[in-house]
Amino acid sequence: MKELDVKRQLHRVKRASKRRSIQLIISLSFTIVSILSMAFMTFAFYTNYINTAKATAIENNKQVIEQISWNLNSYLKNMMRISDSMYYNVIKDLDLTSDTMNNEMDLLYEANKDNLISIACISQDGALISAAPIATRKAGVDFTDQAWFYSTEERIENFHFSTPHVQNMFESSNYRYYWVVSLSRSIDLNYMGYNRRGILLVDMNYSAIERMFSRVNEGGTGYVYLIDSEGEIIYHPKQKAIYTGLVNENNTLAATYEDGNHIERFEGKERSIIVKTVGYTGWKIVSVVPIKDLAAPYNQLRAFMLIIITVTIFLIVFGNIFISKIVTDPIRRLEDSLNYIEDGKFDESNIYIGGSHEIRHLGRTIKSLVGQMHKLMDERVKEQKEKRKSELNALQAQINPHFLYNTLDSVIWMIEAEKYPEAISMIKSLASLFRISLSKGNNIITIKDEITHARNYLAIQKVRYKNRFEANIDIDPEIENCVTIKLIIQPLIENAIYHAVGEMEDDGLIDIKGYQKDGDIYIEVIDNGMGIPQEVLDNLLTEKIESKGKGSGIGLWNINQRINLYFKEDYGLTMYSELDEGTRAVIRLPKLTMEEYLGGEGNEK
């Protein structure tokens, strides 16, 4: 059952979609166009905004890196200056066989101790010549085994910067140890004019470097780390985790990067890399920002935009529905008006005129067309009606030639039998009959004239039928001056004679009554003949295309049609009959005087 309902609903939707009202087409197409345009614009603006924001973030990182690079460079230059100062201003001038450099070294150390851990001068064979601050050399430590020592020995012309390490030269107290970066250089030591090679070692405080970087890494997205030219990590916020294998870093690859921006994929994540080489050392400052973090600050913005888009789409959909409704409402109403016309209701007042100029013009045009059509149709109906009237009147006006022949034959017989008064009376009746039949061409006559016509007809027929039937006429005098259509009573009397009382011996009776009731006039023609079978009675007043001779009923239909044509359809002829009892024909007419009729007081259809 449910499935059936769903199917029915689907069918309805399908049918509705096929119907595609103008409102649906307008609202749907506008909505699609608006949403597509908005989506495109939003996407373009958003992408542009995010890209700009990303570029700004990268630019900011660049500036940060520039700043660190500058700081680090200053720091390292300062360390090199210390080394230079110690070497060129002190050591070069000393004869180590007689002089010491302890005081100068101490002074230099004291002046820079925030950034320095120690300064030491070591002979080529690893003997400590001098050191500041003064400390006990660690037992069992061979300086020649230290990385800084052999790297200096390998390339004596250069400054050498080590990777960070724990200083392992001097005894420390209270469980203290120092992380240092060793700056070493090869120097010439003077022993009574003889030069021997030695090493000047400046152990820089690693904390200074660490502080520089950790300040940068404290806030914001991503992080910055420092590597040497081989990719060995000098500083990294997760340095220990990297060394213990808990975290990985792409430092080896980063060492191969040129200065500038790079995008790399590491451990499945896309990252923005900015590389800056630090002057003399070959160290590289590497800034890492996951691409997704660049856009992370805009998540809130994205959510906000989604809300705005949803509401805007809603507004667009509503707006389109509303506007299309305003636009299409007059068209729909005009369509409703046309539906009325389609149903045959040619009422101009039903034509809707409203909406935009074009629709109003269309409405007015249709209204004008309907008016003209209505007028043409009325004229046509009138013409048809007149034609019909003429046809029916002409038909009614035909005098049965047999009736005329028989009447004249009866007159001849009377004259031959020297019954002159009767013959005269019959001729008078016939003359009166013809006079009223003609009625100067008028179809509307008074009831009085119509009754007179009926009397004349009865008089003639009674002679012809040798008074085999009786006829009573009882007309309310008040209605005598009211109008009727001519020749509507005589055919009823003729029917009564021919089909009822004409064949009876001598007890045939025709009653003609005229009276008024409820503002209308009723004229009844009643006979006591054998009556009409119901099936015949039912067809008596239906339309007859042609006469099928005597008793075809065309006369009765004609009477009814003529009354209908001249007066409203409420009026007309009604037949009642009972077998062996007789037949009653009732004519119902509006109660109108000739003046009223001619004044046209609502009697016409």
Partner 1 sequence: MKNKKLITGFIVAVVLLLVVESYIYINNSRQQKNQTKITFVVTGDNLDNYENMIAGAETAAMDEDCFVDFINSPTEYGVDGEIDLIERQLTEGTDYIVTVSSDYEAMKEYVKKANISGKVLFVKNGSYGDLKNSIMVDDRELAGNFVDYILENSKASKLLLVSTREDVNTDTLREEIERALSDSNIKLEYRLLSATSGTINQSMYNLGQSRFFDGFITLDFETLEAAAKAQSKLKNKVEVYSIDNSKEAVYYLDSNLINALAFKDDYSMGFLAVKEALTGNLRNKIEADEKLYYISDKETIHSDKLEKVLFPFVK
The contact set with partner 1 (CB under 8 A) reads 139-140, 165-166, 168, 171, 175-179, 206-207, 210, 237-241, 243-247, 299-300, 303-304, 307, 310-311, 314-315, 318, 321-322, 325
Nearer to partner 1, 35 or 404 (CB): 35
**Pick 10 or 315: Cβ nearer partner 1:** 315
Q: How far is CA 52 from CA 43, 48, 212, 261, 299, in A?
A: 14, 6, 28, 15, 15
Q: Could you tell me which residues come within 8 angstroms of residue 20 by beta carbon, excluding any fewer than 6 positions away?
A: none
Tell me whether residue 296 or residue 438 sits nearer to partner 1 (CB atom).
296
> CA–CA separation, 460 vs 129, rounded Å?
177
Q: Find the shortest distance in angstroms from Cβ 535 to partner 1.
A: 57
Cβ distance to partner 1 smaller for residue 221 or 437: 221
DSSP bridge partners of 509: 470
- How far apart are the C-alpha atoms of 473 and 284, rounded to whole Å? 139
Cis upstream peptide for 401 (omega within 30°): no
| Beta-bridge partners for 515 | 522
Taking the C-alpha atoms of residue 86 and residue 69, their distance in angstroms, rounded to an integer, is: 25
Question: Given the complex with partner 1, which of 26 and 586 has the nearer CB atom?
Answer: 26
Do residues 109 and 213 touch, judged by C-beta distance below 8 A?
Answer: no
Q: Angle between the 22-84 and 206-218 helix axes, to the nearest 10 degrees?
A: 170
φ, ψ (nearest 5 deg) of residue 235 = -140, 140
Q: Toward partner 1, which CB reaches closer, 14 or 325?
A: 325
Q: Which neighbouring-strand residues pair with 235?
A: 226
What SS3 state is found at 541? Answer: coil
Between 212 and 392, whose beta carbon lies closer to partner 1? 212
Closest CA to 148 of 181, 174, 115, 106: 181
What is the smallest separation between the CB atom of 327 and partner 1, expressed in angstroms?
Answer: 13
User: Closest CB to partner 1 among 127 and 166?
Assistant: 166
Closest approach of partner 1 to the CB of residue 150, in Å = 15
One-letter amino acid of 271: R
CA distances from residue 409 to 416, 418, 465, 469 in whole angstroms, order as listed:
11, 14, 13, 20
Q: Return the SS3 of 408.
A: helix
Least CB distance to partner 1 at residue 167 (A)? 10
Neighbours of 481 (CB within 10 A): 12
Measured from the Cβ of residue 418, the count of other Cβ atoms closer than 10 Å reads 8
Alpha-carbon span 536 to 544, nearest angstrom: 13
| Minimum distance of partner 1 from residue 42's CB (angstroms) | 16
User: What tokens does 31 get?
Assistant: 């909505």
CB of residue 37 to partner 1, shortest distance in Å: 21
How near is the Cβ of 241 to partner 1 at its closest, in Å?
5
d(CA 383, CA 371): 18
For the chain, helix (H) and strand (E) counts, in that order, are: 17, 18
CA 522 → CA 244, 535, 576, 582, distances in Å?
126, 25, 14, 19
Q: Which is nearer to partner 1, 324 or 393 (CB)?
A: 324
Q: How far is the CB of 74 from partner 1 (least distance, A)?
A: 20
3-state per-residue secondary structure call for 414-429: HHHCCCHHHHHHHHHH
Query: Is the CB of 165 or the CB of 388 nearer to partner 1?
Result: 165
Nearest distance, CB of residue 572 and partner 1, angstroms: 47
In which region does residue 414 sit, left (phi positive, over 0), alpha (psi from -120 to 50) or beta (all else)? alpha
Q: Give the nearest distance from C-beta 45 to partner 1 in angstroms.
A: 20
Of 325 and 548, CB closest to partner 1? 325
Q: Which is nearer to partner 1, 4 or 139 (CB)?
A: 139
Output the smallest distance, CB 177 to partner 1, in A: 6
